[in-house]
Structure 1
Amino acid sequence: MSTPVIELSGVSRRYDEGPPALDAVSLTVEAGESVAVLGPSGSGKSTLLNLVAGLDRPSAGTVTVDGVRVDRLGEAGAARYRRAKVGMVFQFFNLLDDLTVVENVLLPAELAGVERAEARRRAAELLDVLGIARHARAHPARLSGGERQRVAVARALMNRPALLLADEPTGALDSASGEDVKRLITDLNADGQTIVTVTHDLALARACASRTVTLVDGRIAADSRTEAVR
């Protein structure tokens, strides 16, 4: 059997003396899966994402992503891990407005020390595949919300990550742009990309994932496989 892309074992995270944000969570995500993590505010969704991304460390348990023990990494190691293993897409895009579209997409490759010509070939490929090549020299402020999210996805995929994490990727979009991003996530998964989408939107989960994990009070309340509604 292949090694899981994500393996959490007995993961807890406490921030103070109150109830844990995550409480003894064990979770495995296989290569090629598209998993939606659902739950209300305060359920532990963001904590789970931050632990997988190496932005936080667990109070107990182990976090392994694509063979890397993320919970053991220091700050510099976690930064290298994110550049090499994880692409992240955020609700509010997090694009740099003073850079052009192509410059935003190239940034992860530059940080990782990828040879410039190869990075530019990869960026051109992504912009073409994602349907935004015509905007390569534009600045993000001139694009629609859906187009900006496509730029964010291109940036996230720049270094060919094993895992794509999407944090409420349609939360700041109008309904038409939201549908566009749902189709994009579905297409990326169909091409083999492993994706974890953190959301409170059941419709997004149904559209983009064939497996849903529901968190309640820091624990997994349900883990079910369903046919995604295209």
Structure 2
Amino acid sequence: MTAPVIELCDVSRRYDDGPPALHDVSLTVRAGEAVAVLGPSGSGKSTLLNLIAGLDRPDTGTVTVDGVRVDGLGEAGAARYRRAKIGMVFQFFNLLDDLTVADNVVLPAQLAGMGRGGAARRAAELLDVLGIGRYADAYPGRLSGGERQRVAVARALMNRPPLLLADEPTGALDTASGEDVGRLLADLNADGQTVVVVTHDLALARSCTTRTIRLVDGGITDATAGAGATESAR
């Protein structure tokens, strides 16, 4: 049985005086899984993602990712954790338009202290593997949406993170580009990358993940689980 990459235990998060964004959620994601988190707006998907990424803290419960107790980290520790453990892909790419594609991709490595030569070689390797090596010296604004999302994926993988988080990665793409990104995520998972995709898109979930969980009103209400994986909501 593979080791868990994500372990949430009895996690709850409430903002102000409203209903809980998450309520007593427990979730395990093991190395090599590809998990889709589905649910309507306001169901708790973004809160779950932010807790896993160390961008927020639970009110109760624990969040452990690749052996790190994320809920106990301070601001500086959380930043180091994200550089080492998390690759993030966003709906709107979040690329820097005044930097070339290659310079966008090497940024995480530079922040982590990797030497310039090693970072450049790693970036070139990723861009070639993802089929966009010819755009290394181009600027993001010259690329299609699907190509920019591939650049964002390359950047997310730069530091070889154990976990790739994708937040609505096809939300700003046309159908063909979205399908392309779905195939890319499936290929990455087939190569062993652990992936969690937060999405409204059931077709994307079916195309690139091996397990789905559904959030409604802050709790897991339905799950399709692989062997050895558990999730619960009380």
Tell me, yes or no, whether TM beats 0.5.
yes
Residue identity (%): 79
Using the size of structure 1 for normalisation, the TM-score is 0.97
1:204 is paired with a residue whose SS is helix
**Corresponding residue for 1:46?**
46
Structure 2 residues not aligned, in runs of 5+: 227-234
State whether residues 89 and 165 of structure 1, in contact with CA within 8 Å, keep that contact through their aligned partners in structure 2: yes
**Corresponding residue for 2:74?**
74
Q: Please give the alpha-carbon distance, in whole angstroms, between the structure 1 residues aligned to 2:92 and 2:18.
A: 30
**Corresponding residue for 1:168?**
168
Q: Please give the alpha-carbon distance, in whole angstroms, between the structure 2 residues aligned to 1:176 and 1:199.
A: 17
Using the TM superposition, give the Cα deviation of residue 225 of structure 1 relative to its aligned residue in structure 2, in angstroms: 3.5
**Corresponding residue for 1:141?**
141
**Corresponding residue for 1:118?**
118
CA RMSD of the aligned region, Å?
A: 0.8
User: One-letter code of the match for 1:63?
Assistant: V
State whether residues 5 and 29 of structure 1, in contact with CA within 8 Å, keep that contact through their aligned partners in structure 2: yes
Larger deviation: 100-109 or 117-126?
A: 117-126
Residues 204-219 of structure 1: pairs in structure 2 closer than 5 A? 204-219=204-219
Q: How many equivalent pairs are there?
A: 226
1:98 is paired with a residue whose SS is coil
Q: Please give the alpha-carbon distance, in whole angstroms, between the structure 2 residues aligned to 1:21 and 1:175.
A: 30
Note the alpha carbon deviations across 1:178-226, whole angstroms, 9 max, x for none: 1110110000000000000000111111111110000000000011148
Using the TM superposition, give the Cα deviation of residue 2 of structure 1 relative to its aligned residue in structure 2, in angstroms: 4.0
1:192 is paired with a residue whose SS is coil
Note the alpha carbon deviations across 1:134-192, whole angstroms, 9 max, x for none: 00000000000000000000000000000000000000001111111011000000000
Note the alpha carbon deviations across 1:105-145, whole angstroms, 9 max, x for none: 00000000011111111101000000000000000000000
1:42 is paired with a residue whose SS is coil
Once superposed, which parts of structure 1, at least 4 consecutive aligned residues long, lie more than 2 Å away?
A: none
Structure 1 residues not aligned, in runs of 5+: none
Using the size of structure 2 for normalisation, the TM-score is 0.95
**Corresponding residue for 2:18?**
18
Using the TM superposition, give the Cα deviation of residue 26 of structure 1 relative to its aligned residue in structure 2, in angstroms: 0.1
User: One-letter code of the match for 2:195?
Assistant: I
State whether residues 3 and 67 of structure 1, in contact with CA within 8 Å, keep that contact through their aligned partners in structure 2: no
**Corresponding residue for 1:64?**
64
Using the TM superposition, give the Cα deviation of residue 3 of structure 1 relative to its aligned residue in structure 2, in angstroms: 2.8
